Structure 1
Amino acid sequence: MPWQYQCGVCRVQTEWGSREAAEDARSAHRARAHGGLIPTDETLTGDTDEEKQGGEILLKILGIGVLFGVLKWITEHL
Structure 2
Amino acid sequence: MAYRYRCGECGFTTRWTTESDAEDVSIAHYADRHPGLVPGGSVEINKKNPHSPGCLPMLGIAFLLLLIFASCRR
When normalised by structure 2's length, the TM-score is 0.72
**Greater helix share, 1 or 2?**
1
**Greater strand share, 1 or 2?**
1
**C-alpha spacing 1:11/1:18, structure 2 compared with 1 (3 Å):** same
Q: Which has the larger Rg?
A: 1
Give unmatched runs, 5+ long, in structure 1: none
Q: For the residues of structure 1 that align with 2:8 and 2:36, how far apart are their CA atoms?
A: 16
* Counterpart residue number, 2:5: 5
Identity of aligned residues (%): 28
Per-residue deviation, 1:31 = 0.8
Q: For the residues of structure 2 that align with 1:27 and 1:36, how far apart are their CA atoms?
A: 12
Give unmatched runs, 5+ long, in structure 2: none
When normalised by structure 1's length, the TM-score is 0.69
Aligned-pair RMSD on alpha carbons? 2.2
Q: For the residues of structure 2 that align with 1:10 and 1:33, how far apart are their CA atoms?
A: 9
